[in-house]
Amino acid sequence: MKIFLVEDDVNLNSAIETTFSNLGYEITSYKDGKEAFDNLSHKHDLFIVDINLPNVNGIELVKQIKKIYPNGNVFIISADLNIDTIISAYDLGVTDYIKKPFDIREIIAKIEHTLKIAPKVIHFSNCKGAEYNMDQKIFTYNNTEIKITQKESLLLKILLKNANQYVNNDQIEDFIWGEPFKNGHVRQLVAKLRKKLPCDIIENHTLNGYRVLV
């Protein structure tokens, strides 16, 4: 799936682009409304547009998007609390509105819910060559499969569902075993998985739990 992103905040633009690229999406990003406007002819499946953009604002950009792609899914993001601006965007046919500041997982969840899709292959930012296929539950490194158990796959699943965020022991235990334990089940499972993998994709924090970075 091809995503068209327009966000003038350099850090946010980079964060969104990196996250979706690592989730297996093809994403093209722009920081200027006019530049984005001039490149709308390139085919994309979904648009993420900030309202307050330099040169051509987000509302004008959405108008043009809907002319070219009347059935296209458009998500707008903005810190603008002006209800008239939000209503104008919905009147143009945008799919959803996401208010800044936000957790990037919110965009991921809304897009996947709207399009009824899930990323096929996950890439890990701290382990080049490592990939995990969410559908097939296959972990590969440099195209070579690394066998993992069902519980190890479930561990990856809950960590990837909360990518870049810490998940605590109780949450992991409840997801995998259906109840919390107090005898180190998670620590043992993480240790077994780490031994199999070529690099350590799982970060741990004494108080917050575990996370993977994508």
Percent of the chain with pLDDT over 90: 43
pLDDT tens for the chain, 214 residues long, are: 789 999 999 999 998 998 888 777 889 999 999 999 999 877 788 999 999 999 999 999 999 998 888 878 899 998 876 788 888 888 888 988 898 888 888 888 888 777 765 556 888 888 989 999 887 889 999 999 999 999 999 999 889 888 888 999 988 988 888 777 666 889 999 999 999 998 999 999 988 899 998 8
Name every residue whose Cβ is closer than 8 Å to that of residue 211 and which is 6 or more positions away in sequence.
Answer: 159, 162, 163, 164, 165, 166, 167, 202, 203, 205
Half-sphere exposure of residue 182, counting CA atoms within 13 Å on the CB side? 0
Query: Where do you find CATH 1.10.10.10 in the chain?
Result: 121-212
Q: Where in the chain is the domain with CATH 3.40.50.2300?
A: 2-115
Looking at the DSSP bridge assignments, the partners of residue 49 are 6, 76
DSSP string, 60-85: HHHHHHHHH-TT-EEEEEE----HHH
Taking Cα atoms as reference points, which of 84, 67, 64, 93 lies closest to residue 76?
A: 93
CA distance 130 to 143: 8
Superfamily of 2-115 according to CATH: Response regulator (3.40.50.2300)
Alpha carbons 187 and 143: distance in angstroms, whole number: 28
Check whether domain 121-212 has CATH 1.10.8.50, yes or no: no
User: pTM for the whole thing?
Assistant: 0.57
CA-to-CA distance for 20 and 45, rounded, in angstroms? 14
